[in-house]
Amino acid sequence: MQEQKEKIIFSFKKSRNTSDSTVFAMRVTSDFENQILIQKSKRSEQVKEFLLSSTEEEKVAFIQSLLKQQLFMHYYLIEANRFTLLLDTNVIQDILSAKNNRQREVRFIATKALLCFLEDYAHANIWLCITPAVLYELNEQLPISNISDYKKVLKISENVAIELGIPTYHTGFSSLKEIKKQTKLLHADSKNIQNALNQINEKSWKINFEQQNGRIRIPMAVAEYSVPNIKLSYLDPFYVKWVLMNTIERKMFEQNKDQKKARKFMNDKNVGISKLFKIKKGSLMGLADIDLLTRANLTSQTALNSPVITSAITYDDALFSALSERLGSVHNGGKFESGKDNAHDMASLMVYQFAISGARSDFLTERSKIYSKAFEKFADDILKAEKTDC
């Protein structure tokens, strides 16, 4: 008689023989999860239908958006095939306004196509990352102070998740009490940043960069020194200061047209993230973008050996460029202190790190090839369907 074992397969409990093999299993889903799965099943057909009905100009915009995001996401894919995904505020607006704005609809379909590739062809597991900053933006840049606000913004985020066909993952809060606290801190940060931004906007940045010895003061160094002190409780001070430094540098570029030598060291006024912070109707915009930059920094995440990788989707050129500069993969190589650490141990560690680094590089190269072929298959399926039906 074969030995009997009890095994839990997802939410179903069954008795089975040790000789049995499980190919796949399914569990009972909630209504919310079921809606997500239904939308997930429709994504490929929605993309095909869009391509059949769109103009050549819309197709070009769609392809450009898709390829740009796919190449960016490729770095996250080869690092991990399970990750959370943050959406730029404009991407969320694309989803919510797609039915009334064709340009937003084109980007929305490109986003759907990207997710279709990631999940159905690259077989990645993705969750829509919901942070306090996301909910703060959805609450019109105001703290969430009651259950009504909380339910409203959660409902909006769930609708976004359903439209995309991916489940949600909440981080930074797990209750109304916590979200009230976090969005209150974020609102305080907003006011402090807005005050600093007002100081920067009101100040003259006409500066003589040329020193007596003929050397040129580095504009970005001047900008760093000139950033007002800000008390922050939620947002990462590094990224906030970085944006404000770029804001100051842009103003120096605009106000010092006669100093050609110094301007060579400055970014052009249309480059960088200097315009990330904007004040509209008395409210500071761009806080969720700072949160996105902080969380989706791949270089930082790999260097810290983060157990959860977070990526992002944005069609904002400056934000996309800032994230693209942080796609490195960094791993802890250990350290050696003479007179403190055992030399033999350190030598063994060094040999191991060289070996494992080479093996990791080979492994990631193979994964890169696999995902590139998966995208070729995805593109072939979509374009072939279009050509067949035309």
Question: How many Å apart are CA 42 and CA 46, to the nearest integer?
Answer: 6
Residue where the block lists tokens 């090839």: 369
Question: How many Å apart are CA 271 and CA 266, to the nearest integer?
Answer: 10
Amino acid identity, residue 178? Answer: E
Q: Taking Cα atoms as reference points, which of 143, 145, 158, 73 lies closest to residue 110?
A: 73
Q: Starting at the edge strand that comes first in sequence, how are the strands of the sheet with 168-170 ordered? A: 168-170, 125-130, 82-87, 309-313
In Å, how far are 97, 195, 206 from 104, measured between CA atoms?
7, 33, 40
Which pLDDT does position 10 carry in this prediction?
36
Question: How many Å apart are CA 86 and CA 298, to the nearest integer?
Answer: 13
Amino acid identity, residue 248? Answer: I
Question: How many Å apart are CA 171 and CA 250, to the nearest integer?
Answer: 34
In Å, how far are 18, 250, 360 from 346, measured between CA atoms?
46, 47, 20
Please give the average pLDDT of every successive group of 10 residues along the chain, which has 390 residues: 39 43 58 93 94 93 94 92 93 92 94 96 96 95 95 96 95 95 96 94 90 84 93 95 92 88 75 77 86 93 88 92 84 63 73 74 83 92 59
pTM, two decimal places: 0.83
And the tokens for 308? 């959860």
DSSP state of 265: T
Q: Cα 364 from chain centroid? A: 21
Residue 209 DSSP SS3 = coil
The residue ranges of every structural domain in the chain are: 31-324
Which pLDDT does position 184 carry in this prediction?
97
Which pLDDT does position 36 carry in this prediction?
94
* DSSP run (H or E) holding 126: strand 125-130
Question: How many Å apart are CA 111 and CA 70, to the nearest integer?
Answer: 10
Question: How many Å apart are CA 102 and CA 332, to the nearest integer?
Answer: 46
Contact yes or no for 318/273 (Cβ under 8 A): yes
Q: Cα 19 from chain centroid? A: 44
* DSSP run (H or E) holding 4: strand 4-9
Which pLDDT does position 25 carry in this prediction?
55
DSSP state of 90: H
| Cβ-based neighbour number of residue 189 at 10 Å | 23
* DSSP run (H or E) holding 105: helix 102-116
And the tokens for 167? 């489940």
Which pLDDT does position 109 carry in this prediction?
96
Residue where the block lists tokens 């040329």: 210
Question: How many Å apart are CA 378 and CA 114, to the nearest integer?
Answer: 10
Sign of CA dihedral 82, 88, 92, 98: negative
Which residues are bridge partners to 278 per DSSP? 285
Question: How many Å apart are CA 190 and CA 50, to the nearest integer?
Answer: 39
Amino acid identity, residue 35? Answer: Q
